Amino acid sequence: MPLIAICPGSYDPVTHGHLDVIERSAALFDEVVAAVLWNPDKAGTFAVEERIRFIENATGHLENVRVEAFAGRLLVDVAREIGASVIVKGLRGETDYSYEQPMALMNRHLTGIETVFLPGAPDFVQVSSSLIKQVCMLGGDVTGLVPDEVRDALVALRDG
């Protein structure tokens, strides 16, 4: 039976930090689903279709990765539906752990699914979607921290 991992997130937009976690997951598991989910605490910047397209374009070389969106659904229900036996998240540091721990324990409480944490790549510890958006909106250069397509879309939003 193939081991399926789910890499969930808002991906608004995807960063090289996210892509590092997806790529490393693809090396560990038979199949990886990058799941674009709704975070009730975050207002969206990009349409879900755009978020999907950015991830698909950046992961096209990974044969065992697919991207899907699940609006208004619990992560654990999505995981069960796609047959995922593990949730994979990246941890950039202690703050991430404080944010992720309750979700990991709640998800395990709900269905027993485990969350596996991968240490964030040192090159991308400073990279989050919200910081990328803020820096770009205020004129900073985010080249190398997100795919070029994402940078161009952010610049278009800023200058639009």
| Marked catalytic residue, from 53, 66, 80, 92 | 92
Contact status: 9 vs ligand PNS (CB under 6 A): yes
Greatest C-alpha distance within the chain: 49
Give the residue with the Cβ less far from ligand PNS, 96 or 149: 96
Query: Percentage helix, strand, coil, to 5, in the chain?
Result: 45, 20, 30
Active site residue 61: no
Ramachandran region of residue 23, left (φ > 0), alpha (ψ -120 to 50) or beta?
alpha
* Number of residues binding to ligand PNS, judged by CB under 6 A: 12
Does position 107 interact with ligand PNS (CB under 6 A)? The reply is yes
- In the residue annotation, 18 being an active-site residue is answered as yes
34, 75, 88, 136: which one binds ligand PNS (CB under 6 A):
75
Nearest to 126 by CA among 148, 146, 103, 102: 146
Q: Binding mask 11-50 vs ligand PNS (x if CB under 6 A, - otherwise)?
A: --------------------------xxx--x--------
Determine if 143 is a binding residue for ligand PNS (CB under 6 A): no
CA distance 60 to 82: 20
Distance CA 37, CA 74 (A): 8
Options 52-60, 102-110, 119-127, 137-145: segment touching ligand PNS (CB under 6 A): 102-110
Q: 127: buried, middle or exposed (CB in 10 Å: 19+, 13-18, 0-12)?
A: buried
Which residues lie near ligand PNS (CB under 6 A)? 8-10, 37-39, 42, 74-75, 103, 106-107
